Structure 1
Amino acid sequence: MNSSPDPVIALFNEALGLAPEERVRYLDHACGGDAALRERVKSLLLAHDRAGDFMGEPVAILQQGTASEPAGEAAGDRIGPYKLLQQIGEGGCGVVFMAEQEEPIRRRVALKLVKPGMDTKSVITRFEAERQALAMMDHPNIAKVFDAGVTPTGRPYFVMELIHGIRITEFCDESALSTTERLELFVQVCHAVQHAHQKGIIHRDIKPSNILVTRTSAGDALPMVIDFGVAKAITGQRLTDNTLFTAFEMLIGTPAYMSPEQAAFTNVDVDTRTDIYGLGVLLYELLTGTTPFDARELLKVGLDEIRRVILDRDPVLPSTRLKCMEAGDLTATAQHRQSEPLRLIRVVRGDLDWIVMKAMEKDRARRYPTANALATDVQRYLADETITARPPGSLYKLRKWMVRNRLLAGSLLVIGLLLSAALAITSILLSREREARRQADLEKRRAQAAAATSQQVVTFLKETLAGVAPSAAKGRDTRMLREILDRANHRIAEGLAGQPEAEAELRYIFGVVYADLGAYKTSEQMFRRVLELLGRVSLPESVGAARAHSFLGLVLLRQSRWNESEAELQAALDLWKRLGLLEEIRAVETLANLSVLRRLEGRLEEAESLSRRVLELRRKILPPADSRILSASSNLGSVLVAAGKISEAEQLFRQLIEERKNREETEDHSIALIHHALGAVLQRQGKSGEARECYERAVAIRREMLVKGHPHLTSSLMALANLQRAAGKTGEAEALYREAFENSRNRTDEEDPTATAKALEDLIKLMLVQKKRIEVDALFSELMPPGFPITLENVPLWKIRAEFLARTGKWAEAMALGEKLVALQPGDHELYHTLAPLLIAEGEIEAYRELCDRILKRFVAPTDPFLADRMAKDCLIMPSAEGDVKAAAALAEVAVSKGAGRASSPLFHFCKALAEYRQGNFAEAIEWAEKVKGLLPHAAVEAGAILAMANHQLKQFDAARAHLAGSSAAFAKLPSLESGDLGGDWRDWIIARTLLAEARTLIEGSAR
């Protein structure tokens, strides 16, 4: 066979690269009206199919196969306990049906059997080999074999797991998986292949069509390796009782994915490393979208040329393949991987290049020894650890070049030897003399350089990072900074091994920059590592340790971990005191952080005293224009607001802004803080117009100065949106809520699902007010597509989903979701407060009482009045056992006592009234219910129902009927189910309806 095939061979090779269903259309077009030509090509294709794999295409994709010849069996036939439902795949020798097993269990399966007329000895032998290969394996990523047998006509079949999936390359592109996600999927494939190897089986045809990806019930991607039709035993395992002979010069496998040893016609010596090569080709395609050698080009040439390419030609590096693509193709490839073209090339260049090339080495002794070794190297790359793969050395490259160019290499070698001999003596004499002089100077310079290198590196990095931190970045996109930080973070320990002080200093800077990015958890890890390193070198009471304790306290404070924060800040203050540096500027930062903590804790006198002290010290130590003076003034203003000193806070904030203007200083993040704080003060005073101007200025500055995803920008956007909504400007408010939501989702570090959920919740509430139900449904479909998992991380989003379903009357769906969330997060009282009224609305009374029992056992002695009120009210909606009523009444008492004096205390009075009524204290119930009059509409209905029932129990029938009528009239004014939105008070709507129904039954029933 040569490399210039005639037209028949050319058409055959082109059609061979197409899917079976595409070949008919191709031949109709390519052959025109030449029936003889078409028949010759068709005969070659049929002969190829009979000689090749049992199945050339995936057998488990649920698509109707296109058969060129009718099979012996058809849909509706039975084979043993299996009813054939639909043909789903076909190869040259076999056909696959989706079938239904009817006994002993009912399930859908894939049934493979040999075609009529194709049951030759070699085909049956291959079929039995595949069946036995699959049967020996038990791995979650390999299709399972359930059964095997022969048809009444003597043709073998076997039954395997039915997989709903598509090729791994198609799945990755359709799902737009990033490079990291593709690598994680590839690792699973490696583990499956390793399992097969441990069972003594080589696949010998690793390619995308033999790796299907489906999804688990949890929505996770699951790759499945299929089609062991060309598998070969590598141990003493017998795959079949018959002899399987691979004819000389018969290619086993697919050319684009075939290993050099397969192409060399030495199949008797093929081992597990041939699958490593196939995995390397697969990884190449996952990274670049193409195979190392173009499949269509290979099929256009003759057998000898295919073998020569596979054996001798070295594929280009994956990054080089990407770089050489047409601009349009590269852009499309990058988009499929959620990347930019240049960034994709940078990601692949280097470690991934060498991992792929090591797996695809021509010399199999240089490949990874096992599939697990390949998977481990990929996992090292994902963890930013050092990989074992390395670019080939110069000697290896020279040896390969000499093999390909033997004659030229021999000539050059002779010339080289002559030149070497002529120069050797002269070079040795000269080099000895030079070396003697140079050695002394070299050793001296090395000693000096080694002493200075570490400190120079640390100093350089400190200055560089300080200059590009978000606070100094002037609005530039800091995503590249974050990527640099993350990569450097993994290499600090290795690069500064044996130098703990230098590592501690560098990690401190990293911690500060991470905190500036809003990446508080990573920042926390940095500071804890600093303290560990300083303790290791006996410096736990140094200035560095005091700074680390102080900043760690601030980072914990920003995560609302107040107790831990106070411990770190106090440790820092104790250190500053022992060091005699309490009035040094770094110690003042600790006092500033402590003042913020005291304000959040409500200890306002201490907070004000500390804030004034910090402002005094900063003005004493720092120049007037230093932003830290502005920050101290801002903190003092926030304390004054919390203490109710609104006018004084407003005056302070206005003075700070005016001073900044007078100095003509550039606006930065610190002045945005003042504008935001002043906006809040003005809003509290009802000065909405001025407040809006302040919020708008804060938003504008933070948009320019802060990295996307920073929580401070989200905070200002939400404040402005709330103000616009209150002013009735729903269009502007919706746009701001959307921006806040998208900004909270763009966090570059640890996700903050709570902040994201709050922005989403406010956005959805506004959209419901605007009656944009369809848009809300579309938003949920985008955020939570089918298969979106219910996990702890996603609980905030699922809570909003349950809230939406409940307030729009979809109680059954909301209840089912609520039950799952309570099971997942049983300590969240808000979830019980959602589920309890839903169970009543759906008539699940027994489940409701079981839930109340769980509530009363879990929330025994809460200190939060709101928590106590909610749990008590939930358990008192309907009459319960005496013990449960007493426990719920105790919670109601906590709500009333702990909530005394609060603006929301009348709501606690209703809960107390309900508790007294359930205990039979009717006069007390009337007394507490009277205090609820004139409050929110839902509470008035609920209190009216209690007044009606309590008066009736005291024989005050006229008053009872009057209260019932008034409560019923008030309920009629509330939103109805038909409106499609019960509003945010849907829980009280259900409670009001339930109590009103109970009152009607009591009063009207007795009247009859």
Structure 2
Amino acid sequence: MNKQEWKEVNKIVDTALDLAKNKRSTYIQKRCQGDPEIQQKVNELLESIDRSGAEAFLEETQAYPNHLAADFSKQHNNRTASSLVGTTIGKYKIIELIGHGGMGSVYLTERGDGAYNKKVALKLLQRGMGTPSNIARFQRERNILANLDHPNIARLLDGGVTDNGLPYLVMEYIEGVPLLEYCQKHTLSLSKRLQLFKTVCEAVQHAHQNAIIHRDLKPGNIYVTGNGTVKVLDFGIAKLLKPAPKETLLFKTGTRDHILTLGYAAPEQFDGKTITTATDTYTLGILFYELLTGKHPFNIKDKNPSKIENLILREPPEKPSKKVKKLNKNEQTAIASHRNTNPLSVIQKLKGDLDAMAMKALRQEPEDRYLSTEQLLEDLDRYKRSLPLIAQRDTLQYRFKKFVKRNRHIIIAAILAIVTIIGFGLYHINTIEEKRHIAETEAQKAETVKDFLIQMFDSANPKDNTFEGKNLSAKELLVKGKNSISSRLNTQPKISTEVLLAIGNAMSNIDAFEEAETTFREALKKSASTARSLENKTQALVSLGNLEATRTNIDKAYQLALDANNNLDKISSPSTTLKASVFSLLGRLNVVKDNYEQANSYYEKAKNIYVNAGKTSSEDYIQMLTGYGKSLIYVFDFKKAEETLLKSNELYLKKYGKPTMTMAENYKFLAWTNREMGDFEASNRYFEKSIELKKQLAGKETISTALSIYHLSRNYTLMGNYGKSKELAKKVLSTFQQITDPPNSFTLRAKNYIAIANYNQSNLVEAQKLFTEVIAKYTKLNGENHMSVAGPSSHLAVVYQKMNDYQKAIPLLEKSIRINADNLGEESRGVGVDMLKLAVVYRGMGNYEEAQNYFRQVKSIFSEEVPKNHYREGEFYFQYAKLKRDLNQYSQAQKYFQQAFEVYRDNFGRDNKLTKKVRSYIAQSAEVSFQ
């Protein structure tokens, strides 16, 4: 193309850019009439300009059609980019070429006028590329950099236009190495790597605050200088964007934008969805993952772009700890040595919080990630301070739903909560359940409060003038009282706030959650007018947090707990009960989030506060012990869990003089604890206590009572007493059918255990029918990938295994493993139990290699997830011994049979059916070995 043609193409393009897209075609056709070659080049150039907004200045795969200007460039500027070395542009003398791409070059330069000796980088647009769109794009980058003033972002120093009309930028020259290389070279520990990463996030957050998204935060764009200073480079493809309303914090961009660094692109950058600050967060997540593990989260090596795109769009990455754990020993050792530690330490440190942070940043849907680097920075800070994180596991809701199945609170206790707080008992209600939430007595309440309560309750008295002609329920009475507070106690904000909190707690106790929330929020508002406003506000936040936790709104509850905890630091001398209530709430929420170590840390803090303050007889302390005892079970501290739950029951009995429903629930958890410790005799005894007490308190068959019987049925199944297990399961089913509307999860649980008893009693056809029914109904209720489907699918597989129908068993077990892995984690106990069953199936098929593979995986999972001498460990030894026997490895078989016998003996006793069965195998194995 000659100079005249090039000018004509650019002229047409410049005019077309000012027209609406629907009018361009007519204009171009008219201007290019008779010259199809020019028309083709105009259209090609316009198409490239539409795409160019997302491309980097030095990106090798530019969409810009350089060939259009190539001939012209050769004719009129045959000097290469490197030939400019030694020349001067503006005030800057070019020393060397340090980067070159499709649209321009970057040079190392120094001031030619001697003003200062510091070296700088100069970016220059290439000749032939000086179209209006490219110049505007260049100016856009200058505007972006001019808006950024942060010590960790490479600064814009100067800019201008050459004599030939080509724009250039002068920037801070960074002498350093890429971030990952720097960490490797200096063998930085994980904590030091996190500090550098935090600095990167702070720089990116500064850009976000200036309405700029970087969109290409690959390691090559983040350098560390010799003195350890981080510098974020290259905002060449960043977007200058108008922020959306504050509540959304979204930044819109075109739907055709693409980041070309495939390994560092967020899913939305491939399919043209909205680009937000969460896009940068995703790329930071990749960088975070690499800093932790030394590996990219996706296996992109030697893959073509379409496969990389498919990986990022379709496949979630592995957790960092699992990624490292799956590497061979040499790779693990190399990674650990670069972090100044050993492989085991790396894996242990990654597990938990760091895993959670990485996985949250890398979630495929932007709304599920950290929505901003501010959130990511907050979690980095919380991790350092050992505080709860924003990041959370996907199974949170499922775990919480299982945990919150409990009895309804009593109406009279709700009313007494108010009366106790003000020191004035007035009213009793006849229909009572047993669980109580009573606040501490405060004797100094004013006479005004007594008058208020008298008037409130008189509205339910037929002899009073305010009587409405009907018997008011506790809920109506509480709502009526709450509505009166604003006018009657308006001049006493302290009393008003405390009474509102009490009424809110009472409403919560009778499941009037919406009314309770309204009341708590009114108390929160009134707390601002009190003398100790911050302390009263914190108490209101705790009350709201507990309410939202009960309603399973965990994110809301967690944020309220964090706000309350932050307030504690600002209160000069917070009351001991307030501090303890905040820590108790954080403990409760961390149990729901599966952060049991963190939960127990908060519970221990709360316990020490109550003990040191002499508040061990308070309702709050006793309740805290109940939560603490349950949480200790999940970290296998069974002795301490047992001691804590027994102490809770002792204090409940001492405080109220008679058993309570909470005590009955505690007995159930004590039964679980003893089962995990292998004392099935004690476990059965505690389950029976729980059942007896619930019947006594409720006076009738309840779901709660039936659930304790259900768990006792499970005990007998584990002990091999299938007749007793089946008898109890049928009783549970009968109860559920009388008080619930089947089909539901309660009736299906009972049927599941009846079916288990059937296949253990060799009633395989009956078991098959029942399991099939249970699976179908669970699938209809909850969907085919719900956790409820996993258990019966696994048991049905065992039925098929016993029928020697292995081809039906395998897909059922694989499905159960997948569901458990998705919900509980790939190395959870549930996955291990199903893998053990799959190993047994493959052994039955004679596929010993595959069986051996699964046994190895089970051993790895059980070593982490199953306590020493647990009955599950006995199952593993027993089945593994059978494999060794099949392989004619009799000495090994004898060894594992013996280990299985010892575990079963310690758990179930010598006379148990399972223990005797293992002992018979030992005898058989010894005979074969002797022969």
TM-score bracket, shorter-length normalisation: 0.3 to 0.5
